[in-house]
Amino acid sequence: MIDRLVRNSVLVNEDVGVELLTESEYRCAAGRLIAEFGPEDVDEAFSQVAEPDLFDSVIAGWGEAMLKCGDFRKWAASFLVEEVESTLDVELGNEFFDCLVEELSEAAAHALVDEQVFHTYANPLYDKTLRWVNFGVHVPLNFCAPEVAPVLGALKAAKGSGS
């Protein structure tokens, strides 16, 4: 069961073109999920034959297990590159992505994944750039792309003054 979950999850990485988790991180998450729900319930959920409540619980458990086991900095960096480029109308490139993967904290990456995947944000119209400051991603953004630093610095100052 663990091997099947890992194989299918690695295929998801290939489909989206970003390594969401490594094989060992998926193995960790699969082990946690099976320990929590048992192999039969997990199999039923992933085979889409489980009752709706069980299906929802197992899928939510899978997300929580991935968050506990995974380092989502690559996913977060990929998401942020696209978001920053479109929001600020700039082109940042591969060096920015590589830098962001290294500089982004796991906590900030997990917060972003939690928000984007599990939709835990308080306001769906929340301004993206202020969210970057709240998650602390403005620091690696400034470091990796100094050309956006003045914009993000002004946002941080605005947040600090209560505006």
pLDDT digits (tens, 9 = 90+) for 55-75: 999 999 998 899 889 888 888
Query: Residue 146 carries which DSSP code?
Result: G
Asked if pLDDT for residue 157 goes beyond 80, the answer is: no
Query: Residue 117 carries which DSSP code?
Result: H
Asked if pLDDT for residue 126 goes beyond 80, the answer is: no
- How high is the pLDDT of residue 24? 95
User: Are 131 and 95 within 8 A, CB to CB?
Assistant: no
Which H helix or E strand runs over 31?
A: helix 23-37
Q: How confident is the model at residue 125 (pLDDT cuts 50, 70, 90)?
A: very low
**Average pLDDT of the segment spanning 118-128:** 56
pTM here? 0.66
Which H helix or E strand runs over 20?
A: none
CA distance between the termini of the chain: 52
User: Are 74 and 98 within 8 A, CB to CB?
Assistant: no
Residue 29 sits at the vertex; the CA angle it makes with 24 and 34, to the nearest 5 degrees, is: 125
Instruction: Return the higher-pLDDT residue of 35 and 116.
Output: 35
Q: String of b and e for 6-23 (b: at least 16 CB within 10 Å)?
A: beebbeebeeeebbbbee
Asked if pLDDT for residue 150 goes beyond 90, the answer is: no
Instruction: Return the higher-pLDDT residue of 72 and 157.
Output: 72
Instruction: Return the higher-pLDDT residue of 125 and 12.
Output: 12
User: Are 145 and 84 within 8 A, CB to CB?
Assistant: yes
d(CA 103, CA 118): 24
